[in-house]
Amino acid sequence: MSDFFSTLASRARKEKFAIDPDVPKAYLLRFFAGKVIDLLRGILVFRRLNARIFVGRKTEILCTSKIRTGRFIKFASECYVDALSRDGIHLGNNFSLGRGASIECTGSLATLGKGFSAGNNVGIGSFSFLGCAGGISIGDDTILGNFVSMHSENHNFEDSGVPIRLQGVTQQGIRVGNNCWIGAKATILDGAEIGDNTVIAAGAVVTAGKYEGNAVYGGIPARKLKSLIA
C-alpha cells in the first residue's frame, strides 16, 4: 500500500517521494482521507479545480483574490493568512504552511502593506509568523523551522515626547535567497537580506543588513560562524 500512495504523492509533487514501508496501513488511509477533505476545502475556498490547494481545518484565509499560486499548495490546520496588500501573495509550486502558522500582509488598514512571495518548494514550519507589511520574498527550495518569525517593518522611537505608537514605521523589507534553512525560533528583522545557500541557526536574531550566501550564521545578533563549500 505504501508503494501505491508513494506513486500518488510523487505524481502530485512532480518529484520522487517514497513513503516508509513501515507506516501502518490504517495511518496511511486516515492521512490520505484527511488530504482529500483538505483538497475539497481548498476548492471551496479558492474556487480553483486544477491548482490542488489543500486547506486544513480551522484555517482562515482572507482576501483570496490577492493570492496567486502554483500547484500543490498546502495550508495546514489552524493557519491564518491575510493577503490584503498592494502586491498580494504569490506562491510557487509545492508550497506548504505549517500548523498554526500566520502570514499577515498588512499591519494597519491606514496603510496597505506590500505583500509576500515564495518560490518553488518552500516550506514554512508550524507556528511561524510572517509580518509582510514591508514585503517578504523567499527563494526556491528554502525551508523555515517551527516558530520562526519575520518582521518586515520597524517602529520609529527617536522622539521621546511622542508615544512610539504614533511615530510611524519604516519598511525596508526582507529577502531570503534560494536553498536556505532558517532554524527553529529564529527571528528575521526588517532590512535583512540573506544570500543563497545560507543556514540561520536556531534561535538566531538576524538584524538589518546583507548576509552573504554559502555561510552559517548564529547568535544574537547573528554573526557569521563558518563558510559553506560553494
Active site residues: 155
Question: Which residues does 30 contact at the CB level (< 8 Å), separation at least 6?
Answer: none
At position 29, the amino acid (one-letter code) is L
Spatial distance between the Cα atoms of 222 and 27, rounded to a whole number of angstroms = 41
Radius of gyration over every alpha carbon of the chain, rounded to an integer in angstroms: 19
Spatial distance between the Cα atoms of 131 and 128, rounded to a whole number of angstroms = 10
Question: Which residues does 32 contact at the CB level (< 8 Å), separation at least 6?
Answer: 5, 8
SS3 176: strand
**Residue 212: Cβ-neighbour burial (10 angstroms; 0-12, 13-18, 19+):** middle
Q: How many CB atoms lie within 10 A of CB 224?
A: 13
